Structure 1
Amino acid sequence: MQQIIDFILELDKLKGVTRKTRPLGLDRAENSAEHSWQIAMLAASLAPYAAPGVDIQRVIAMLLVHDIGEIDTGDTIVYAEEGQAERKAAEQVAVTRIFGLLPAAQAAAFMALWQEFDDAVSADARFAHAADRAMPVLLNLANKGQSWRENGISHQRVVKRIGPPIKDGCPALWDYLEQRLAQASTQGFFGGDAD
């Protein structure tokens, strides 16, 4: 029991990891715990659009563990391209430490889910990735491009980074977002040069 309590209290630190996007109607950045909860709910809500055989409960579990390493590494905006291998290695060390607080069998199960999400090969992981990539986009669309404008992120850069995993994991969601992103471009929701 103490190992589980120690693990859960360690997870509380995820509430202190800030991201670049603001929650609707608030003047602060969202935190990674809020993000994880919201994308888990997004995936559960998108269940009717999942490919046959996708296990939504496994998807939700992946989404709840996928950012736990940020307790040690912090969050990096999804559009960052440099240093990706180093960030992934640091996150692997972090999740090994954090899941290691649990009894071995539970640690192994959570680590396997984290790794499956990271590999993005299974249908479950691809659906999870679609939800993970979509949520910041949905917030930016609702916030008139707040973090895109503040961080100089162009329309082309957004589409290049989030389009393929969303289209692969949940094509109906991409069909929805692609139109809205094009409209947002005409409304000036993006920053930076067209790259």
Structure 2
Amino acid sequence: MSSNTLTSLTDQKSVATIDIEDVTHFLLELDALKRVNRRSYVTETDRRENSAEHSWHLAMACWSIAELFELDVNHEQLLKMALVHDLGEIDAGDTFLYADSRHDAHVEERAGIARLQGERGNGIGNLSEVWEEQETGSSKEAQLLRVVDRLLPFLLNLNTEGKTWRELGVTRSQVAGAHAFIQDSFAPIHKWLSHNIDYATQQGWLIDA
């Protein structure tokens, strides 16, 4: 017999109290995020991204930027916040950044998070707490998350010839206003955004208004 046997990952005493049916139930609840379609298009395709894809992209982008700029952030907390960021959309659906109903979106999303928190098989005891921090917190991790969350849809639009902007008649002033806060949080990214807002307007992808 090989000596390279795997050490058990589980404590038999704790396993006895956990129903794997509950575990898989919660995993399927999370799977529902894949069914929530966003407005942004995946580059080099004609399909929209879903919120699960965005959450993955957000987590990877936050991780990379934090490392590259050597930011003083808690990486574990940052990645957790990125992963839970859009979970409330399972119940609330995605709300377009420039929609009139945008300011009310957090109400239904918060209710969705509360439901997930109480679902059987959920092993994340502070799910609601982590979600609330990314939604309303002022930590460096929350600030970075908000910056990157705005950067990614902009980047997708820029690389799909403003497809979403053109479809929905988005204006230059709307985009500039939605990204203005980044000037204080992350000036180099804001400078890049401002330059490319000008470019997108020149290309006719944004309405010059």
TM-score for the superposition, normalised by structure 1: 0.88
CA distance in 2, matches of 1:136, 1:129: 12
Indicate which of 17, 28, 34 corresponds to 1:9: 28
CA 1:111 to 1:149, structure 2 compared with 1: closer, same or farther past 3 Å?
same
- Corresponding letter in the other structure for 1:73: A
Q: 106, 114, 130: which is aligned to 1:88?
A: 106
Residue 132 of structure 2: aligned partner: 115
Structure 2 unpaired stretches of 5+: 1-17
Q: Name the amino acid aligned to 1:63.
A: A
Aligned-pair CA distance for 1:121: 1.2
Gaps of 5+ in 1: none
Identity of aligned residues (%): 35
CA shift, 1:50, in A, is: 6.0
Q: Secondary structure at the match of 2:24?
A: helix
Say if 2:199 is the partner of 1:180. Answer: no
**Could you state the TM-score of these two structures normalised by the residue count of structure 2?**
0.83
CA apart distance, 1:187:
1.2
Match of 2:92 in 1: 73
- Secondary structure at the aligned position of 1:68 is classed as coil
Residue 180 of structure 2 aligns with which residue? 163
User: In structure 2, do the counterparts of structure 1 residues 29 and 58 end up closer, same or farther at CA, with 3 Å as the change threshold?
Assistant: same
Compared CA separation, residues 49 and 80, structure 1 to 2 (3 A): farther
Q: Within the alignment, does 1:144 sit opposite 2:161 as a pair?
A: yes
Paired amino acid for 1:183: Y
Asked which structure has the greater CA Rg, the reply is 2
Q: Write the distance in 2 (CA, Å) between the matches of 1:101 and 1:146.
A: 38
Given residue 12 of structure 1, which amino acid in structure 2 is its aligned partner?
D
**Amino acid in the other structure paired with 1:101:** E
More helix by share: 1
SS state at 1:75 partner: coil
Q: In the alignment, does 2:46 pair up with 1:30?
A: no
More RCO (CA 8 Å, sep 6+):
1
1:58: which partner in 2?
77
